[in-house]
A and B are shown apart, each in its own frame.
Chain A
Amino acid sequence: MPNILSIKNLNVFYEKFHAVKDIDLSLNEGEIFVICGPSGSGKSTLIRAIAGLEKPKSGEILINNKAMNEKEVLNKNIFGMVFQQFNLFPHLSILENITLPLMKVKKISKSESIEIAHGVLSKVKILDQKDKHPSKLSGGQQQRCAIARSLAMNPKIMLFDEPTSALDPEMINEVLDVMTDLASAGMTMIIVTHEMGFAKKIANKIILMDNGEIIESNTPNNFFNNPETERTKSFLNQVLQH
Chain B
Amino acid sequence: MVEVFPRLLPPLWVTIKVSFISLFLAFFIGLFFGSINSVFSKLNPINLVSRFYVWIVLCTPIIIQIYAAYLLLPKIGIKLDVFWVGVIALTFNSAGYQIEISRASITSIDKGQYEASKTLGMGLFTTMIYIIIPQAIKRMLPATANEASHLIKASAVLSVIALLELHKAAINLQGNSFKFIELLALQAFLYLPIVLGTSYIANFLQKKNDDKSSRIDLVK
Decide: B134 and A91 in contact? CB cutoff 8 A.
Answer: yes
Decide: B213 and A90 in contact? CB cutoff 8 A.
Answer: yes
Decide: B112 and A87 in contact? CB cutoff 8 A.
Answer: yes
**B122 proximal to A (CB < 8 A):** yes
29 sample A-B contacts, Cβ–Cβ < 8 Å, listed by A number: A51-B119, A53-B115, A74-B119, A74-B121, A75-B121, A79-B119, A80-B119, A81-B115, A81-B116, A83-B112, A85-B110, A87-B110, A87-B112, A87-B113, A87-B115, A87-B116, A88-B116, A89-B131, A90-B135, A90-B217, A101-B121, A104-B130, A105-B122, A105-B126, A134-B214, A135-B213, A135-B214, A149-B120, A153-B121
Known A-B contacts A53-B115, A134-B214; A91 and B138 likewise in contact (beta carbons under 8 Å): yes
Count of interface residues, chain B, beta-carbon cutoff 8 Å: 23
**B7 proximal to A (CB < 8 A):** no
Q: Which A-B residue pairs are the 5 nearest by beta carbons?
A: A135-B214, A87-B116, A81-B119, A87-B112, A101-B120
Q: A85-B112, A91-B138, A91-B212 are in contact. List 15 more A-B contacts (CB 8 A).
A: A52-B119, A53-B115, A74-B121, A75-B121, A81-B115, A87-B112, A88-B116, A89-B113, A89-B131, A89-B135, A90-B213, A91-B134, A106-B121, A146-B116, A150-B120
Decide: A53 and B121 in contact? CB cutoff 8 A.
Answer: no
Q: Give min CB distance, A209 to chain B, whole Å.
A: 21
Residues of A within 8 A of B110 (CB): 85, 87
**A23 proximal to B (CB < 8 A):** no
A77 to B214, CA, bound (A): 29
Closest A residue by C-beta to B215: A135
**B207 proximal to A (CB < 8 A):** no
A83 to B118, CA, bound (A): 12
A135 to B209, CA, bound (A): 13
A76 to B216, CA, bound (A): 34
Q: Give min CB distance, B191 to chain A, whole Å.
A: 34
- A-binding residues in B (CB < 8 A): 110, 112-113, 115-122, 126, 130-131, 134-135, 138, 212-217
Closest B residue by C-beta to A102: B120
Closest A residue by C-beta to B138: A91
Decide: B120 and A153 in contact? CB cutoff 8 A.
Answer: yes
**A130 proximal to B (CB < 8 A):** no
Residues of A within 8 A of B118 (CB): 52-53, 74
A75 to B120, CA, bound (A): 8
Residues of A within 8 A of B130 (CB): 100, 104
Decide: B116 and A89 in contact? CB cutoff 8 A.
Answer: yes
**Chain A CB within 10 A, most for which of B116, B119, B213:** B119
**A133 proximal to B (CB < 8 A):** yes
A153 to B122, CA, bound (A): 11
Decide: A105 and B121 in contact? CB cutoff 8 A.
Answer: yes
A75 to B112, CA, bound (A): 18
- The interface bits of chain A over 116-137 (1 if a CB of B lies within 8 angstroms of the residue's CB, else 0) are 0000000000000000011100
Decide: B120 and A91 in contact? CB cutoff 8 A.
Answer: no
A87 to B138, CA, bound (A): 18
In the complex, chain A residues 101-118 whose Cβ is within 8 Å of any chain B Cβ: 101, 104-106
